[in-house]
Chains A and B, each alone.
Chain A
Amino acid sequence: MKLLDFAEKLQLEIMTEKDEDIELDINGAYVGDLLSIVMGKAKEKNVWITIQTHLNILAVAELIDISVIIIAEDMEISDDTINKAKEIGMPLLKSKEDAYKIACRLNEMGI
């Protein structure tokens, strides 16, 4: 699925590159805010929904091959985090909704 379509369907704001060519390879989703638990349990190609916005979510996402990060609850994201996401090519999206709502929408989309 194209990143732009994904973002539009879920009403997400794209914080990183908005290139039309960006394709997401997604297989499932994981919700979590404790990094060690996400490390151990999220699977590769997952969508990761979290309210953590610290720089370190990118290290975790990159290490376990997350496809896209969705920041829930309209949490504020620092430029450091956004720049790092751009640097490593990790799509970083933001939602006004809570993690449960986002997960429900993903489910409706067949993820």
Chain B
Amino acid sequence: MINIPIKSDTYIINANDFSVAGKVSSDIKKDLKKLGIHPKIIRRTAIVCYESEINIIIHSIGGKIVFELYEDRIVINSEDRGPGISDIELAMKEGYSTATNEVRELGFGAGMGLPNMNRWADEFRIESSSKGTLIKMTIFL
């Protein structure tokens, strides 16, 4: 694999800030469109990026998304500062969610975020501790 990114951007994401949810994914989507990336790849990237963005907003105390474009792949790194996921296997189950009712009323909390990321990324890696959650997703071009 080629290890120098053609493009790399870091987006800071604050907890509980619903008004801008989706902004990061939307920006990344626009960039990929300009670069002429295949629409199917753009769509998959947008979905996994949106889900990680939302999870940082809803479930964490804040974090960031690092987007990297390489010649042969896109890498999305999602990193937050906690509280982390104690049971990753359970969290990965379709429909499992600890989202509050308030958040659910806005349409979030379907428990499909992590499963969507796992489904649409070619590679999905997750690590979590009380210090935070790290997700690395790769989509091959």
Interface residues on A, range: 20 to 34
The residue that A54 contacts in the complex, of B26, B39, B107, with Cβ under 8 A, is B107
Determine whether B80 belongs to the interface, using a CB cutoff of 8 Å to chain A.
Answer: no
Q: Are B107 and A57 within 8 A (Cβ)?
A: yes
Query: Count of B residues near A, CB < 8 Å?
Result: 26
Q: Are B50 and A60 within 8 A (Cβ)?
A: yes
The residue that B107 contacts in the complex, of A35, A40, A44, A62, with Cβ under 8 A, is A35
Determine whether A26 belongs to the interface, using a CB cutoff of 8 Å to chain B.
Answer: no
Task: Classify the interface of chain B: helix, strand, loop or mixed.
Answer: helix
On whether A39 and B47 interact (CB within 8 A), knowing A56-B106, A59-B26, A62-B26, the answer reads yes
Interface residues of A in 26-48 (CB under 8 A from B): 33-37, 39-40, 44
CA separation between A60 and B109, bound complex, in Å?
A: 14
On whether A56 and B112 interact (CB within 8 A), knowing A39-B47, A64-B47, the answer reads no
Q: Are B106 and A59 within 8 A (Cβ)?
A: no
CA separation between A52 and B104, bound complex, in Å?
A: 11
A58: which B residues are within 8 A, CB to CB? 22
- List the interface of chain A (C-beta within 8 A of B): 33-37, 39-40, 44, 50, 52, 54-60, 62-65, 80
